[in-house]
Amino acid sequence: MGTGVDLVEVVDAELVEDGAESGSAAGSGVPRVDHNTVLRPGQEIPTDAGGPRYTERDLYVSEETARALDEAGGEESGPRGSVMRRFREWCAAEGRVAVPCTTATYTEYGQHLMSRKLKVTTIRNYMSLIRTSMPVGKQPDNSLFLQLLKDYRAKNKRASRRRQAFPITLPYLIPMMATAEAANRPIGWRDAALLAFGYRFLARRIEDADLDIEDLTVLDDRIVVWLLKDKTHQEEEQTLTLHDRPDLDLVTRMRRWLGHLADQGITSGPLFRHLLKDGTVATTETRQKTATVRGDYLRGHTVNERVQLWFKKAGLVTDGRPVSAQGLRAGGATDLAEHGATDEELEEAGRWAKGSPIPRRVYVRPAQQKNHDPFAKIPTYDGGAAMAEQMEAQ
């Protein structure tokens, strides 16, 4: 039902001097209505005349808050930072604005990634990170990009193939840790603790690298981990208990590494750190040439490289799947699946979302199929001897 009042576009608030005219009549104020305004019978049309009068005091933040905002809004690290850095470089070369980018620029960059024959999942992840990095309310429309991606996927079947990381199960993990510890050097102690922890924690590599010493409580037969958030639980802190086992020897390995840190006066801060050749813990000052925005924390890429190194040095081979830090998470999940863990137990151990299809599709089902061959029901062909015997009997 109409009200007889024309809708007026909402205008942004502005500072005005007392007594200054605003709107069509002095002192009347500009109507503040839009298509969502609902008025009760007899209610006055709202205007800016009765609203608060803001001064500079209401608009400025302190220098301390400004510094905190600058730090919080700095260049992001990790995958988002590297993706945005490459996007900005491409935009600069193309003479385009990177932030906030237009829908045309966003779509063109998606086509650029496709021209490089990247995996569909890689392109989708990159473009999602770029889109969500734009200011609130200024994200580009992704419908054209998704249309291009759908066509790209149909024409490039190999680009749609997802190669799972090789699962580093216990038969692979144990020799890797032994090889790392063979020289009895601090870097081997660190990596052995990292390997054992990564397998038992079923974590993503960046979750291992982001842990602080204070996040761990090491007991004689277990390690209790406080986790602020993970990929699935962004707003929910967790306290997880990692029970030790004789072949993993997690507690001993972690205590040895923590002891090495304590000997150098380090009892708080990043758990897994960079080391110099002599075993001394490196700092951002002692490794200025390689220091990154992560400071004293290991990069996820470094964790990846260490896993690959010890896999190779242990003389291990794969079935063609790539070796990476993700293999520690995949290895623990695979061992659980092959020894009868339920979907729910896997969800809990790996902190997947409740009802996630990943545990069953990626781990449980392959484990069940590994030793199941329906063709085994068919007797082995013996060259026709059985048939000859049958004909003679007739």
Are 228 and 237 a contacting pair, CB within 8 Å? yes
Q: Is residue 86 domain-shared with residue 179, that is, in the same domain?
A: no
Are 138 and 100 a contacting pair, CB within 8 Å? yes
Are 251 and 244 a contacting pair, CB within 8 Å? yes
pTM of this structure: 0.62
For the record, the structure tokens of 153 come out as: 């996927």
Asked if residue 32 belongs to a domain, the reply is yes
pLDDT digit string, tens, across residues 59-114: 888 999 988 877 765 555 556 778 999 999 999 999 999 999 999 999 999 999 99
Q: Is residue 131 domain-shared with residue 244, that is, in the same domain?
A: no
Q: How many domains does the chain have?
A: 3
Domain encompassing residue 18: 1-60
* Listed residues 123, 141, 160: the one ending a domain: 160
**Main-chain phi, psi angles of 226, to 5 degrees:** -95, 125
Are 201 and 215 a contacting pair, CB within 8 Å? no
Q: Is residue 237 domain-shared with residue 277, that is, in the same domain?
A: yes
Q: Is residue 227 domain-shared with residue 312, that is, in the same domain?
A: yes
What is the pLDDT, as a whole number, of residue 8? 42
- Cβ neighbour number for residue 122 with a 10 Å cutoff: 12
Identity of the residue numbered 369: Q
User: Which positions ≥6 away from 49 have C-beta within 8 Å?
Assistant: 22, 23, 27, 28, 29
Asked if residue 174 belongs to a domain, the reply is yes
Q: Is residue 227 domain-shared with residue 310, that is, in the same domain?
A: yes
What is the pLDDT, as a whole number, of residue 27? 45
Which one, of 208, 165, 189, lies nearest residue 310 by Cα? 189
Q: Is residue 48 domain-shared with residue 142, that is, in the same domain?
A: no
Identity of the residue numbered 2: G
What is the pLDDT, as a whole number, of residue 193? 96
Q: Is residue 28 domain-shared with residue 92, that is, in the same domain?
A: no
What is the pLDDT, as a whole number, of residue 334? 87
Q: Is residue 254 domain-shared with residue 348, that is, in the same domain?
A: yes
Burial 285-314 (b: 16+ CB within 10 A, else e): eeeeeeeeebebbbbbebbbebbeebbeeb
What is the pLDDT, as a whole number, of residue 379? 79
What is the pLDDT, as a whole number, of residue 74? 55
Q: Is residue 222 domain-shared with residue 304, that is, in the same domain?
A: yes
3-state secondary structure 141-191: CCHHHHHHHHHHHHHCHHHHCCCCCCCCCHHHHHHHHHHHHCCCCHHHHHH
User: Which positions ≥6 away from 311 have C-beta within 8 Å?
Assistant: 168, 172, 176, 323, 327
Asked if residue 68 belongs to a domain, the reply is no
* DSSP H or E stretch at residue 199: helix 186-201
| SS3 at position 48 | helix
pLDDT digit string, tens, across residues 336-367: 888 888 878 887 777 776 777 777 667 766 76
Strand partners for 275: 281
What is the pLDDT, as a whole number, of residue 342? 81
CATH number, position 126: 1.10.150.130
d(CA 59, CA 364) in angstroms, rounded, equals 57
Enumerate residue ranges in the chain where pLDDT < 70: 1-29, 50, 72-79, 158-163, 229-236, 284-293, 353, 360-361, 364-365, 367-371, 384-388, 390, 394
Asked if residue 73 belongs to a domain, the reply is no
